[in-house]
Structure 1
Amino acid sequence: MLCASFDIGKKNFSFYVEEFDKNKTTSLATYNANGTPTFEFETTLVEIYTNGSTVLLENIDITDGCDPKMTLDPETFHNMTDVLDRYSEIWDRCSVFIIEKQMMFGKQTNPMAVKLGQHCYSYFAIRYGRFKNIIEFPAYNKTQILGSEKIAGKLTKTGKITYKAIDKPKRKKWCISKALEVLELRDDSKSIVQIQNSKKKDDLCDVICQLQSWKYLYLYNK
């Protein structure tokens, strides 16, 4: 089974395609109090990571020919379409397209990313209609499912320690470390070198981790 994972951005439009065995099942996730996986579930995660091989990994600037003074030049949408068309033969083999869901409320709202994300979604919806799955996937799934360690906070009145998620810079470092761990378990030296030589390691690693977390949900819930 082939799946594609997308991270939206005009300077860094990243995507990753992986092939894995959809017939392998997995067990229910269990975590320690600090959000890290238990020893038993870590074994399951390793099985998920090694059940897969890289088909495509890209990070592309889609602002070619765009007016740098504009927040979102309409040409950006055409550039995204051109890039996606370039890999049409791979998309034809994919069963699922996973697109990172963009924030649409609060201080972190990014209208540009929302529009680009919708364009990416619409590209596949128009191309394949109802015949393939297109999923908007919340970013927090990566850290929660794959078990990013949380920070210990205050004690409750009952003496229980509270935990909170790590901040954005630490999430980026964690994601890079986790994606490289996945690739090392597979002996995927080509993808490792590609990431190490990239100026945007975090974007390439985001799409890898996003697909691993979706893969767990798919294999467990099917």
Structure 2
Amino acid sequence: MHVQIVLFDGFDPLDVIAPYEVLYAGGTASAGAVSVELVSAEGPREVVSGTGGLTLRATAALDPGRAGLILVPGASGRVGEPGEVPDHDAGAGRWQQGASIPVLLGLTLTTELPALLKAAMEHPEVTVSAVCGGSLVLAMAGLLEGRHATTHHMGRDMLDATGVRAVSARVVDDGDLVTGAGVTSGLDLGLYLLEREVGPRIAHAVEELFAHERRGTVWRHRGPEPVPF
């Protein structure tokens, strides 16, 4: 399984590094069954995060036609004012350190990323995943209507507003769409993807290596619907 983790200006570093390390370790534990790289919509470049100017390098352009997994992180910055919505035209595509998370997420829509993600979601051999605000990037691009997904608890209303069936769970598996909630859920998401795609023994080995136990039950649209308590 090849994994492409997407970088965009203002990304949240932990949304990227947590699943990167888990999946990379899974590749080591599986003798190369998993490979992982950092990509961007624009191709190889230095990409500045929203946390103190920390920079990571994308080594390739996002390829929506490559079989495997694509993972979209959220953004890091000011939380924003209550009721603030993403500004799709903010700065005409220019990014500035200190921008609010809604603005940073909105700026992704001024790039080629939405079109690339749309192509990926239409590819039968690609699973798209997201951590935290990454689900909102997909939702704002109009790619999640009617789908089950999660995001940071502060963004679930926004998911609902875009026609997504928001779920209050740490990890949500909706087939070729797998999403994680708040920032640290990137660890749990990565471990679950290893279990699902490579096997539970590999996932367990990485879980032991990282001294981290996954939290909560992965939500799937299966089984009887629970009655209210």
Same fold (TM > 0.5): no
Which of the pair has the greater relative contact order for Cα pairs under 8 Å at 6+ separation? 1
TM-score normalized by the length of structure 2: 0.31
TM-score normalized by the length of structure 1: 0.31
